[in-house]
């Protein structure tokens, strides 16, 4: 089996490590990639082809793991070349998934939940999602439904909570720091939230700061999709990230 990647960021790098099988070959391309991405490809056990079109043609499973704003364009450009499953793992709204489904006949909607480098869980939905359940041998995989878009909905529900919470943590910690009470702030929260609360909170804050552009795009996807919902906190979180 051949698994191809369109894009080779953190998600792709860690999937190569997790799906460890002599029966699976990984391929990608360095076409129009940054120096950093090319270096990451060299460090991974991945065969490099001349173009992403070649990757799409040869893949039994083609994985798109890019940015939310680039997901539809990637699907339009390369989804038409694959006869295999097209697994979209981008943090995008169900509307974007539905649009991708117009261009890719073998789409499976996917969502990686948790830290991709530490025991993550893969949720899949779509009428071909059963064909990916063999991945349970390498990564905990759950089928949501036969409807493409359901995995993305679950991912958005989670993001409503986690990204809004991250923005609140950033602001609370900043206020405490400005008053020279940051250490004490985390200590009193740990009394009710658990001993590892400070460690997890600082990790969440750092991850948010280091990926603020991508997380802002994900919040925009939420706002654009749930137009009939009251998203006061989500909009406030987006404003905080944009600051």
* pLDDT for residue 68: 83
Alpha carbon separation from 92 to 73, 89, 225 (Å, rounded): 13, 8, 10
Has residue 80 got a pLDDT over 90?
yes
State pLDDT tens for residues 24-75: 999 999 888 888 888 889 888 799 999 999 999 999 999 999 888 889 999 9
Digit-coded pLDDT (tens) for 124-143: 999 999 999 999 999 999 99
pLDDT reading at 6 higher than 90: yes
The two beta strands, 107-113 and 121-125, are: antiparallel
pLDDT of residue 108: 98
Q: What are phi and psi of 82, to 5 degrees?
A: -100, 140
Residue written as tokens 């004490």?
184
Mean pLDDT of the chain: 92
Give the per-residue pLDDT at 35. Answer: 85
Q: Are 85 and 108 spatial neighbours (Cβ–Cβ below 8 Å)?
A: yes
Facing residues of 33 across strands? none
Q: How many helices (H) and strands (E) does the chain have?
A: 10, 8
33 to 7, 38, 51, 89: CA distances (angstroms): 8, 6, 11, 19
Pairwise CA distance, residues 146 & 143, whole Å: 8
Instruction: State how far the Cα of 98 lies from the Cα of 103, in Å rounded to an integer.
Output: 9
List pLDDT tens digits, range 147-187: 999 999 999 899 899 999 999 999 999 999 999 999 999 99
Q: Are 65 and 9 in contact (CB under 8 A)?
A: yes
Q: What is the pLDDT of residue 2?
A: 97
For the beta carbon of residue 203, count every other beta carbon within 10 angstroms.
Answer: 12
Asked, colleague to colleague, whether 2-145 and 153-242 share their fold, the answer is no
Cβ contact 82:59 at 8 Å: yes
The token duo for 181 is 């009470």
The Cβ-side half-sphere exposure at 142, using a 13 Å CA radius, reads: 10
* CATH number of the domain located at residue range(s) 2-145 in this protein: 3.40.50.720
> Which pLDDT value is given to residue 210?
87
* Predicted model pTM: 0.83
Sequence spans of domains, the chain: 2-145, 153-242
- CATH, range 153-242: 1.10.1040.10
């Amino acid at each position: 089996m051949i698994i191809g990647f369109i894009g080779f960021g953190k998600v792709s790098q860690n999937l190569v490590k997790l799906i460890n099988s002599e029966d699976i070959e990984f391929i990608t391309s360095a076409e129009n990639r940054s120096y950093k991405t090319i270096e990451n490809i060299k460090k991974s056990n991945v065969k490099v082809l001349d173009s992403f079109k070649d990757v799409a043609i040869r893949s039994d499973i083609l994985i798109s793991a890019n940015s939310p704003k680039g997901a539809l364009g990637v699907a339009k450009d390369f989804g038409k070349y694959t006869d295999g499953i097209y697994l979209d793992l981008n943090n995008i709204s169900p509307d974007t998934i539905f649009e991708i489904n117009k261009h890719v006949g073998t789409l499976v909607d996917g969502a990686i939940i948790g830290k991709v480098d530490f025991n993550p869980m893969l949720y899949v939905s779509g009428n071909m999602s059963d064909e990916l359940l063999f991945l349970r041998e390498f990564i905990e995989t759950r089928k949501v439904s036969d409807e493409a878009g359901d995995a993305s909905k679950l991912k958005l529900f989670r993001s409503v909570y986690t990204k809004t919470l991250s923005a609140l943590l950033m602001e609370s910690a900043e206020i405490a720091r400005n008053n020279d009470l940051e250490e004490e702030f985390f200590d009193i929260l740990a009394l009710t939230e658990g001993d590892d609360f400070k460690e997890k909170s600082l990790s969440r804050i750092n991850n948010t700061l280091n990926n603020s552009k991508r997380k802002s795009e994900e919040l925009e996807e939420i706002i654009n999709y749930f137009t009939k919902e009251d998203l006061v906190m989500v909009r406030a979180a987006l404003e905080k990230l944009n600051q």
